[in-house]
Structure 1
Amino acid sequence: MQTTIRYFASVREAVGLGSETLELPDNLTTLAEVRAWLAARSSRHAFALGQDKPLRMACNHIMAEPESPWIPGCEVAFFPPVTGG
């Protein structure tokens, strides 16, 4: 099933895309696994989505934790934490 992946702010700049629609493997079950699969796609993805990066994630516009289930066909978003001043 097609999944839309959205990248925001510095993640978008590092990946070079605002979004992409991909066919993800059926064996992925969590957002952490989706992130790891995406990071393995290219050096740009690895740099932006590496496990050492403090990123926030959302599934269908709802904030989610890495261990949250990936729902096939949902929209997944990645963005850096926001700071205020």
Structure 2
Amino acid sequence: MTREILYFAWLRERIGLPRETVDSDAATPRALIAELAARSDGHAAAFDDIAALRCALDQVLADLDAPLGDAREVAFFPPMTGG
């Protein structure tokens, strides 16, 4: 399935892109991360510590083990803080 992947904060800096379109059969964000990490050294650096990542599926916060289902957009970002 074709999905739009969005990167925020230091992920965008390490990958060098704010977004990209990918074809993937990954079932979960965690599986998608494994595929993305293999794309380049920048991707590998961005996804080096997945404990420091959060994700959203179609703009709804989701767990890394949640089913991707029909989500067209997957966003990855560092943990959010309030203030």
**TM-score scaled to structure 2, two decimals?**
0.88
Partner of 2:30: 32
- The DSSP-based 3-state class of the residue aligned with 1:14 is helix
Which letter does structure 2 place at the counterpart of 1:19? R
Partner of 1:22: 22
Structure 1 residues 53 and 12, CA gap change in structure 2 (3 angstroms): farther
The size of the alignment, in residue pairs, is 83
Distance in 2 (CA, whole Å) between partners of 1:12 and 1:38 is 13
Unaligned 5+ runs, structure 2: none
Deviation by residue 1:35-71 (Cα, 9 ceiling, x = unmatched) = 1110111110010012455011010000010110012
Contact 1:34 1:70 in 2 (8 A): no
The correspondence for 1:69, drawn from 56, 67, 70, is 67
Alignment of 1:27-66 (within 5 A): 28-66=26-64
CA RMSD of aligned residues (A): 1.6
Distance in 2 (CA, whole Å) between partners of 1:59 and 1:73 is 6
Contact 1:2 1:73 in 2 (8 A): no
